[in-house]
Amino acid sequence: MSDSPYTPPRVWTWDSESGGMFANINRPIAGPTHESELPRGEHPLQLHSLATPNGVKVTVLLEELLEIGKDAEYDAYLINIAGGDQFSSGFVDINPNSKIPALLDMSTDPGTRVFESGAILTYLAEKFEAFVPVDLSDRAECYSWLMWNMGSVPFLGGGFGHFYAYAPQKWEYPINRYAMEVKRQLDVLDRNLSERQFLCGDDYNIADMANYAWYGGLVLHNIYDAQEFLDVASYTNVVRWATEIDARPAVQRGLRVNRVWGDEATQVRERHSASDFG
């Protein structure tokens, strides 16, 4: 690939050598590549995930549910996406899109599969009647910010993150295009949080958890090493909001589940009980 003008062919064909550092796991077709059953733990809730921001959304909620006394014990198994675990027959059975996270709830007969992080958050919040507003109008606000996250994050992760941090070369046009959009998103959050403690008002809920996982990670934990480039410190309301959420004990536990990078003391590669946190 080069900076020279690109003329698309009449019919696109897949070049397995393109795609940068993730070329070995990207492909234009779905379905399993190999037969492998998923492990099964003793708890009804079985999570198969990795501590990327989308995975953190779910582990934070599960730990928050446990924190308030809900019977939400769960087994969290690691999906090594670099190794292609997401293309196993067992994982594809619970998520045909082969993306983490995926949840299996064995308290129902038959078991209920839930995939897509926003769907999992909604399912668990409604199942345990927690971290989602009861009032219909308030719930609409919560779901609006949750869906905002689901629609906005691809510009941050697959757009900005890919071209700024992972592409084989740095190209000015896509980096500028996606940096502009991410900064617009941060401004949307910052303006909303200038008048509210949390995204929907005074109460912390699944919309905050979903957005914290990505935008909190951006402003506090320097995902993509882009804090200076995006001048994240200037979004003072986002930083205040993210810092408050970051200090919650359940959030700190959720950040560690299925984590395979950083200090080993922060990693809980599999989680089966509270004792796994040491």
pLDDT in tens, 191-211: 999 999 999 999 999 999 999
**Mean of pLDDT values over 63-91:** 97
So what's the pLDDT on residue 25?
A: 84
Does residue 248 have a pLDDT over 90?
A: yes
Q: List, for residues 72-84, the tens digit of each pLDDT value.
A: 999 999 999 999 9
Number of domains in the chain: 2
Structure tokens belonging to residue 226: 């882009």
Judgement on whether residues 229 and 272 belong to the same structural domain of the protein? no
Residue-by-residue DSSP string for 51-111 = SSHHHHHHHHHHHHHHHTT-S--EEEEE--GGGTGGGBHHHHHH-TT--S-EEEETTSSSP
State pTM to two decimals: 0.96
- Report which of residues 258 and 3 the model is more confident about: 258
Pairing of strands 74-78, 45-49: parallel
The whole-number average pLDDT for the span 90-99 is: 98
* Domain shared by 160 and 206, yes or no: yes
pLDDT per position as a tens digit, 170-196 = 999 999 999 999 999 999 999 999 999
Q: What is the pLDDT of residues 12-31, one digit of tens each?
A: 999 876 666 777 788 899 99
Of residues 150 and 1, more confidence is placed in: 150
HSE-CB at 112 with a 13 A cutoff on CA atoms is 11
Q: Is residue 141 part of a domain?
A: yes
Range of the domain at 62: 45-131+257-277
Whether 268 maps to a domain, the answer reads: yes
- Whether residue 126 sits in one domain with residue 84: yes
CATH number of the domain where residue 95 is located: 3.40.30.10
Residue 182 per-residue DSSP state:
H
Q: With 50 as the cut, is the pLDDT of residue 219 above it?
A: yes
Are 72 and 141 part of one and the same domain? no
What is the CATH number for 211?
1.20.1050.10
Position 9 in a domain = no
The pLDDT tens digits of the residues spanning 140-172 come to 999 999 999 999 999 999 999 999 999 989 999
Asked, for residue 109, whether it belongs to a domain, the answer is yes
How many angstroms separate the CA atoms of 159 and 260, rounded? 24
Task: Write down the pLDDT at residue 18.
Answer: 67
Asked if residue 49 lies in contact with residue 100, where contact means CB atoms within 8 angstroms, the answer is yes
**What is the percent of the chain with per-residue pLDDT over 70, rounded to a whole number?**
97
pLDDT for residue 141: 98
How much is the mean pLDDT over the chain?
A: 96
Residues 58 and 96 placed together within one structural domain of the fold: yes
The mean pLDDT value for 57-79 works out to: 98
Out of 2-16, 54-68, 183-197, 224-238, least confident range: 2-16
Q: What is the reported pLDDT for 15?
A: 83
Q: Residue 40: inside a domain, yes or no? A: no
Residue 32 lies in a domain: no
pLDDT of residue 1: 43
Are 240 and 270 part of one and the same domain?
no
144-173 CB burial, b ≥16 within 10 A, e <16? ebbebbeebbebbbebbbbbbbebeeeeee
* Alpha carbon distance 154, 61 (integer Å): 21
